[in-house]
Structure 1
C-alpha cells in the first residue's frame, strides 16, 4: 500500500516542530495494569499547552508553508482541538487565523479559541459545513486551509508521537489510539509498522457516528449524521475525497473497536479517580475499552491520551451521575 508518506518526513517534522512542541511524558498505570493483566502505559498528549496532540500536526503544517502564504493567514475547520492548535501556532507566529466550527462544539473549546485571538465562525451542524466555509475563505481571501487530518504534513506531525513512544517504551506490543478522521492513527501506525510490523494497532471510537469505521466497512468514505457523545472530539466526517487517512487506516489498523458510551464515561471517571487527571471523552475512549478488554494479559500496551479540553460542567454532571 503506497501512502505518499515517508519515514523521513516524520523525522523532518520532529525537527521542524521542536521549538514549539515538547516531548510528552509516558506514565505507567498500575491500576490499569492490575485490572487488565497487561503492563499499561499512558502517553500523555493532553499535557501540551493546547491540551491535545493536535499541536504536533498543526505546527508541522503551518511551519512548512512559504512566507507569502503565512502573511495571508490560515483557516481551518475543527471540532475544537485542531482549531485550538492552529490558533495557538498562528498566535505564536503573529499571523491571521480564522477557525470554522459547527454548533456542536462545546462552549469551553469556543472560549479557548477566542482567548487565542482567532476569528471564530460557527457554521451549520457538522464539520462538513465548517469545511465548506473554509473553502470560501481560501478562495476569497487567499487563506491556507489547514486540514485537521487528511494531509501529509499533519499526519507526519502526529507520527512524531510514535517516535517518542518507541524511545519511552521500546518493548510495546500494542498501541491503542482514538480514531476519528484518522490523522493520529495514520501517523502513529505508519511509524510503528515501519519500525516493527508486529506491533498491533487498535483504533477506538464511539458507537454512534463512527465515520471511519463505517467507511472501512463499506469500502469507501461515507457520510454519517453526527449525534451526541461524550467523545465529541471524535465527531466529524473523513471527507468523500479522502486521499491519505482512509487508505492508511485501512492498511495499518489491525483492529477497530466501537466503545459503548457508558464505557467512555467509565474511562473518564477511572482516569480522574486513579490518576487525578481530567481528560476529555475522546481520550477516555481508550481507557473505557481497556476496562472491558480480556485479551491483553502479559502485553506491553500504550494508550494515547489525546486531549483534556472538556467542559467543567460535563465532568460535574458525570460525577453526579456516577
Structure 2
C-alpha cells in the first residue's frame, strides 16, 4: 500500500518513468535564441505543451492510475476515479483513465474557464461544477469517495503524482547535465517538488526557483507561515496556479520546503508580457502558468548571465480571449 506521507525518492521517480513510458511524451528541451540573447544566458525551454493533453499533468495522473491498477487490481477501481482540478489535471486524469478503461469524474469550481471544462469532457470524463474554489470542489470529491467508493487521484499531494512529474527532472538532467538553474511555476507543489527531487538528487548544485502569483498563492503563503494555510482564490491569467494546497497537506509542502532554493511572485502584467513574448518569438501559444518563469526573469531582473537556465513551459490550455486580454493589458 502506498503511503502518501513520505518523501519522494529518486528510485520512485525512475520507477514512474518506467511505468509511464510509451503513454506520455518525452518532451523536447530547446534553446531559445531570442531569450538567450535577451538575458545573456543559455535559455532552454522545456515544452510540456507537447503532451497529448497539452500539459505536464499527464505524467502524474498516468503514473498513479497505472500504479494503483498494478497494486490493487482492476476491480478496486470499478467505481471509477475522481479528482478536483483547475483544468489541466482533470484533462490528464480523463485521458489516462480513458486509456486504461476506468470511469472518471472531474470536479471543477466555477472559476475554471469553460474551455478547460470542455477539453476535459472531450476525453470522456464526467465534469461536475461545484463551489467558488478548488477547496469547495474538493468537498464534492470527498463525498463521492465516501459515498460511491470512487478512488481519489489528487492533483498534486501524493508521491505517485509527484514522482510522475519528477520524470521531467530526469529528462532535464539527461539533456542538460550541466544545468545551472531550473525555473518552475509553483502552485500545489507537485511539479516543482517532483522536478526538484530529481534534479537535487542528481545534481545538487542546480538551483531550483519557484514562481507564484502575486495574489492567491497558497504554497507561498504557507511556506511563509511555516504550515499549510488557506488563501482566497483569485482570477488570474495563470489560473492553473490557483487553488489551495490542503490544510492537511502530507507530501508537497515538506518537499517544496526541501528542494526549492528561491522563490518569486509575479504580477499579472508580467505574466501577460511573457505570454505575448513567447508567442512572438517562439511561435507557440502557452497559458499564463507556463509563462511565469519568463515573467520572473523579466520582472525581477534575475541575473542569469553566462548561465544555463531551463524554463518549464507547463501547458497550453489558453483561449484566444485570454490571449487578447493579455495583449490588452500590455498594449500590444
1:105 paired residue number:
112
Query: In structure 2, which of residues 284, 304, 327 is the aligned counterpart of residue 296 of structure 1?
Result: 304
| Greater Cα offset, 265-274 or 89-98 | 89-98
CA distance in 2 between partners of 1:313 and 1:255 (Å): 33
Give 1:315's aligned residue. 323
For normalisation by structure 1, the TM-score amounts to 0.97
2:57 to 45, 51, 54: 54
- The alpha-carbon deviation at position 71 of structure 1 amounts to 2.0
1:4 is displaced (CA, Å) by 2.7
Measure the CA separation in 2 of the matches of 1:254 and 1:115: 39
Partner secondary structure for residue 272 of structure 1:
helix
Contact persistence 2:272–2:288 (CA under 8 A): yes
Q: Residue 257 of structure 1 aligns to a residue in which SS?
A: strand
Query: Given that residues 182 and 310 in structure 2 are in contact (C-alpha distance below 8 angstroms), is that contact kept between their aligned partners in structure 1?
Result: yes
8 Å CA contact 2:237–2:326 kept in 1: the answer is no
Change (3 A) 1:294 1:182: closer
1:174–1:202: 8 Å Cα contact kept in structure 2? yes
Mapped pair 1:225 → 2:232: yes
Does the 8 Å contact 1:180/1:205 carry over to 2?
Answer: yes
2:9 to 6, 9, 28: 6
Structure-to-structure mapping, 1:16-165, within 5 angstroms = 16-65=19-68, 66=72, 67-165=74-172
Q: How big is the alpha-carbon RMSD for the aligned residues of Structure 1 and Structure 2?
A: 1.1
| 1:136-162 Cα distance to aligned partner (Å, 9 max, x none) | 111111110000000010000000001
Q: Distance in 2 between matches of 1:61 and 1:49?
A: 17
Which digits, 9 at most, give the CA deviation of each residue in 1:105-142, with x for residues without a partner? 01110111111111111010001011111111111111
Question: Matches of 2:160 and 2:126 in 1, distance apart?
Answer: 23
How far is the alpha carbon of 1:19 from its aligned partner? 2.2
CA distance in 2, matches of 1:260, 1:319: 14
Q: Give 1:92 shift.
A: 1.0
1:267 maps to which residue?
A: 274
- What is the CA–CA distance in structure 1 between the aligned matches of 2:326 and 2:15, rounded to whole Å? 42
Give 3-state SS (helix, strand or coil) of 2:44's partner. Answer: strand
* Secondary structure class of the residue paired with 2:78: helix
Deviation at 1:173, TM superposition (A): 0.4
* Pair 1:247-2:254 in alignment: yes
Match of 1:213 in 2: 220
Q: C-alpha displacement at 1:258, in angstroms? A: 0.2
**Alpha-carbon distance between aligned partners in 1 of 2:54 and 2:183, rounded to the nearest angstrom:** 19
Is 1:276 the counterpart of 2:279? The answer is no
Q: Is the 8 A contact 1:3 1:248 kept in 2?
A: no
**CA–CA distance in 1 between the matches of 2:286 and 2:242?**
17
Alignment coverage as a number of residue pairs: 321
Query: Which range moves more in the overlay, 60-69 or 80-89?
Result: 60-69
Instruction: Indicate the larger mover: 292-301 or 152-161.
Output: 292-301
CA distance in 1, matches of 2:158, 2:258: 17
Per-residue deviation, 1:3: 4.7
Structure 1: distance between partners of 2:112 and 2:31: 32
Q: Structure 2 length as normaliser, TM-score?
A: 0.95
- Distance in 2 of aligned mates of 1:211 and 1:288: 19
Q: Secondary structure at the match of 1:49?
A: coil
Give 3-state SS (helix, strand or coil) of 1:284's partner: helix
The offset of 1:294, in angstroms, is 3.6
CA distance in 2, matches of 1:69, 1:97: 14
